[in-house]
Amino acid sequence: MKSTQRILLPILSLALAANFAFAAAPDSDIPQRKRQSPDAVRVVSANIRYLAKADIATGDNWDKRKEFARDVLRAQDADIICFQEFNNPHYDYLKGQFPDYEAFGFVERKEDGRKLNTVFYSKKRFETIAADGAFLSATPDVYRSKFEESSQVRIVTRLHLRDRATGRELMIWNTHFDHRSSPARTKQAAVLVELAKKYSPNIGHIITGDLNCTQKTEAIKTIKAGGFIDTYTALHGPADPGYTFHGFKGHSYGKTHGKIDFVFCNDTLRPTVAEIIKDSRVIDGVRRYPSDHYFVSAEFEYAKPKK
């Protein structure tokens, strides 16, 4: 028996290493993130940038940066990737690059099937209990409803998952608040909190998104008052760490504050890592970024179930 174990253990170790190497893509120039523990859940929130014609002239259009965006996302070794400003061309490319991930987005427009706030999640790690969404309005179930103050229809994609590794359940709330109106954002935050209250607090809840406001605003205070913590603040302290929107300028953007991209969790989860992902690459002599936002990430451990 001991002789068999001596033979099998190296084989298993090599197999695990091979699987990890495939996932991490070690030939990439992007630093590979390592997990704190094998049962940790890693989440990335990524505003991928909508398809703007103005980006063609600057060389920041999706076709020019999609391979770099793929490499940055692969390097995170994430179980869950939550996108904002996601359009059909983003899906068409990235779904093929992440074949082991299920994808779900909430349909905003039936006429072209555009799915906003799409979430990729590992099929090996999670099974789907439910997948749907709601409109951030006074009537969340009414199609394309919005608050009067909001400049656009805003939604939240909602996923109820079961972790195959632990048997624990997770609620994922991926959203994108209004970009113009502070009152609209505050109301949208309140709706989001009320939607989350319909589910057990014993389930791990994770809120991700581009919230278009900093941590001192009423919208963020509303989310925190609803029982959620900002993972970055929990691990790095309350000081504003700097901008996450940078308009493809990265480190030369010039602002000293302005974190508007977040990963929140409730107390059923314990954040162990939180990062603002600032990877860049020189392409054709120009320093490029995967989006006009820095992506953000967090890693979680499960807290003991509440009695």
Residue 4 lies in a domain: no
Give strand ranges (E) for 40-168.
41-47, 80-84, 101-109, 114-122, 126-135, 155-163
> What tokens were used for 204?
């791990």
Residue 15 lies in a domain: no
Are 272 and 237 a contacting pair, CB within 8 Å?
no
Backbone angles phi, psi at 71, to 5 degrees: -65, -40
Residue 100 lies in a domain: yes
Residue 18 lies in a domain: no
Domain total of the chain: 1
Residue 11 lies in a domain: no
Read off the CATH number of the domain in which 293 is found. Answer: 3.60.10.10
Helix (H, G, I), strand (E, B) or coil at 65: helix
* CA dist list (Å): 88 to 143, 197, 271: 20, 32, 32
Flag residues of the chain having pLDDT under 70: 1-27, 306-307
Domain span at 60:
36-302
| C-alpha to C-alpha distance for 275 and 182, rounded to whole angstroms | 26
The alpha carbon of 94 is separated from its chain's Cα centroid by a whole number of angstroms, namely 14
Name the nearest CA neighbour of 207 among 147, 198, 217, 195.
195
| C-alpha to C-alpha distance for 223 and 203, rounded to whole angstroms | 17
pTM as predicted: 0.91
* CA dist list (Å): 66 to 88, 137, 149, 226: 13, 33, 34, 36
> What pLDDT is stored for residue 27 in this prediction?
63
Residue 5 lies in a domain: no
| C-alpha to C-alpha distance for 99 and 22, rounded to whole angstroms | 12
Residue 203 lies in a domain: yes
Residue 244 lies in a domain: yes
Strand bridging mode 269-277 / 295-302? antiparallel
Q: What is the pLDDT of residues 177-199, one digit of tens each?
A: 999 999 999 999 999 999 999 99
| C-alpha to C-alpha distance for 145 and 155, rounded to whole angstroms | 9
